[in-house]
Amino acid sequence: MYEFLCEYVHPNYGSNLLVTSGNFTNGLLNPNEEINRKVLDELRRICSYSMLYLKGKGKVRLHYPLRILSLLKLCFVENAKLNNLFSVKKGKPEGDGKSKDTAYFFSKARTHKEAIEMTYNFFNENNIMVISKEIGALEDEFIYDINITDKTRIWVKIKRPQDLM
C-alpha cells in the first residue's frame, strides 16, 4: 500500500497520470474521473482500509492535524518569522480576572489556540486548579470564559477564532 500511495503523492508517474492523459505535450489536463477510475477506486479502497485500521486500533488522533493547522496559521500572522514559529510564549495577562470587565486577556497571543495555551500555562504556573468552566459571554469578537476553582471564579477573555479551528 505504501509503495502504491507513494507513486501518487510524490511527483512520479502516478501523480502525473492523475492530472494529465497521454503524452505531456498533447494530453488532456485534468482528465475526467472515468479515465482514471481503476486507480481512483484503488486509492479510495486503501484510504478506507487505513481509516478502518486506525479506528480499530484507537489511534485516530485529531491533535496532529489540528497542530499542523495551528502552525500553518502562525505562518500567516503579521511579522511571522520561522525562528519563532515553534516558540512557546509565556503570557502575562492584562486584567485581574475578577469580572467580565477585568477578565484576564493575553494580548500577545498570535492565535486563538495560543491564547488558550497561555491561559492553561498561566493557571499551572500559579497553581490554579480549575474544577469546571462555563461560557460567561459571547460578545463581538471575544469569548468570555468563567473558570471555577475551589476558591473563586476567574474570568478569561479570548478572541474568537476566525473559522472553525
List pLDDT tens digits, range 66-120.
Answer: 677 777 877 877 777 777 777 777 788 999 999 999 999 999 888 888 898 899 9
Q: Are 81 and 92 in contact (CB under 8 A)?
A: no
pLDDT in tens, 20-78: 555 555 555 566 677 778 877 888 888 888 777 777 666 556 666 767 777 787 787 77
- 95 occurs within a structural domain: yes
pTM: 0.56
Q: Which residues of 14-47 are buried (b: 16+ CB within 10 A; e: fewer)?
A: beebeebeeeeeeeeeeeeeeebeeeeeebeeee
Residue 143 located in a structural domain: yes
Q: How far, in Å, are 55, 94, 102 from residue 111 at the CA level?
A: 30, 17, 21
Report yes or no on 82 lying in a domain: no
What total of structural domains would you count in the chain?
2
Inform me whether the pLDDT recorded for 165 exceeds 50.
Answer: no
Residue 72 domain-assigned?
Answer: no
Answer yes or no: is 62 within a domain. Answer: no
Assigned domain for 79 exists: no
Q: How many CB atoms lie within 10 A of CB 163?
A: 8
Amino acid (1-letter code) at residue 3 = E
Question: What's the one-letter identity of residue 67?
Answer: R
Note down the domain range covering 28.
Answer: 2-57
164: pLDDT strictly greater than 50:
no
Edge to edge, the sheet with strand 130-139 lists 104-105, 153-159, 142-149, 130-139
- Which 8-state DSSP code applies to residue 33? G
CA dist 119 and 123 (Å) reads 6
d(CA 66, CA 145): 22
